[in-house]
Structure 1
Amino acid sequence: MLSLLTNWYKERFSDPQAVTLVFILVGITTAIYFAGGLLAPLLVALVLAFLLEWPVAQMVKVGINRTTGASLVLVLFIGVMLMLTFGLIPSVWKQGVALVTDLPSMLDKGLITLKGYAEQYPQFLGVEQLDSAVGELKKLLDTQHIFDLGKQLIGYSASLLVLMVYAILVPLLVFFFLKDKDVLLRGSKRFIPSNRELARKVWLEMNQQIFNYIRGKVIEIVIIGVATYIFFAIMELRYAALLGVLTGFSVLIPYVGATLVTLPIALVAFFQWGVSPEFGYLMLGYGIIQALDGNLLVPILFSDAVDLHPVFIIAAVLVFGGLWGVWGVFFAIPLASLVKAVINAWPKASVPESSEQPA
């Protein structure tokens, strides 16, 4: 057994380039896993700087000083974020609070409708079973409990100190990452072994793919969210902004997100209209939007960025989402592509020549 492991190690790690690549990957993964909370502002700034590097590079190409380009891009980005913060978030928050407040009355209305169906079709649905199920659901969705939970979450995640750290440090870090990119890269190479050609090969393969994926995912979120909100507003569906935002962000979780967000949309529509033509039109239109997203928008945006089997994509979402939460879900596909790139670039084991001479 020991000799088998020794031979496997010699075959796979005899190349110093492979050892360097493993050293880099293990170091980065360990730092993120054990110190992710402490390094969160730094990691967020790195992600934002990576996304904003492209417009800065384009400005540098046309002759604009890199410091000036970084300043202009950062100011524009902060302006867009402020518009979203003070324009979209308050409306979504109000609709979310209204939805939580209206849940008991919505459940009562739904119960009356379902009781009618239970009386018409007792062989499929019993009234007593229905009353019991709805009673348990009301206890689970008790408004006061939800508000208490929301207050606890808000008090934990949006404390003044955390907001100040992110509001002040992250923009500063992004600015310096963009402004001094070349200096920081040269300095970081001092801590990486010299045998890093394989790591460089993997990075060159992944750099454009990661950028294309993140850019495409942001565009997909905006398009699907806006299109869904417009459709819901035209249909006069309640909580249109909230449900539109949820639909937009549901694309972060491939295959699973669309399924999860469909349930609240169907429930709100059912409680608002019951089984009616409006309910059918809304679900039909929502289904068309999802079909266009999966069959038209996604192939256009990610044709060169994602070449993974759906099984591996779902497995990546589960694994990296469990490790790093929302960020793990967002970067699940790039991380899975990174694993694939490492496997493809890994040095092939040399096949020993046969000691026997051909007859």
Structure 2
Amino acid sequence: MDLRFGALTGIKVIDASRVLGGPYCGQILGDHGADVIKVEGPSGDDTRQWGPPDLGPNAAYFAGANRNKRSIVLDLQRVADRSRFMEMLADADVLIENFKPSTLRKWGWQANEFIDRHPRLVHCRVSGFGPDGPYGGLPAYDTAVQAQCGLMSVNGSAESGPLRVGLPVVDMTTGLNAAIGVLLALRAREITGRGQSVETTLYANAISMLHPHASNFLGTGACPTPTGNAHPNIYPYDSFETSSASIYLAIGNDSQFRTLCRHLDLDALPQDPRYATNPARSVHRHSLRPILESALLPADGRELVGRLARDGVPAAMIGNVRDALEDPQTRHMGLLVDMDPGYRGIASPIRLSDTPPTYRCPPPVFPGT
């Protein structure tokens, strides 16, 4: 088979999901060659209206998760369109959907309906909580799940209190794990000849992201609290001010700490038992931080970060989104995609030597507009 469009060339995906988790999964598969057909209801994916800003004819939010797809409109309230939908699955390899269980029942479908009718189909279901349990079938959005699952409780500072993570990390992690699940199921199908159900939920993904806070709690029984920019287990792993900019130091071992101290003319500091090892530094962070603040404040942040990085110490300027997208490393790695007409987006972060991702079409305009 010719894999010129990517490793998943020849795989047909019906993406009947909406918002972010499912559509992001579909985009990942599409970037790597799958033929993805996005099925939308008469009013379209909710996120088509999640603007401004807009990116070409679509809301920027929608554009960020729906390239490399074609779109058709089906009103699944209608029997004829439900029949057409089932017909589309006859030669499909993957179905992605996030229909509510109550909606499936209203349409006369069971959860296993799709695989029962099409045994080779990989049926990927994305939902908030899954179909059963105390919250089974309830609706969920990213930030509400962040709140419920403790992500907000470890984000922010003592002064701010819990804060939402400023990115839809639950939705996007759900999309990533959905794509992983689909690939696992496709691999199993090569051996068994049968498809299977793949399920991932916002709730499970949020719980899975609690590292290291869950491990810390399970080991000690102490409930984690917000620590601002500081890492709960490692120090100095925190933000600091310099004369020219805010920087972040990510000191992961004792050798890196000794190198940092050498650059700051604090050579005696690693000899102090309170700061000689990471466990000691983490315990005594409140006395260590003022020492580092005093040494860092007169420094030129950009120049210092450059010297530290060249010496093997992870350090970075604290930049904004513009800084990141205009960074020379971003351009060098080809992490931006430009397509006509007027589409710009983030490239796939997955790089394969023989079957790289391809960008064949921008996010689809809503049919009929």
State the TM-score, normalized to the length of structure 2: 0.23
Greater percentage in strand: 2
Higher RCO (C-alpha under 8 Å, 6+ residues apart): 1
Greater percentage in helix: 1
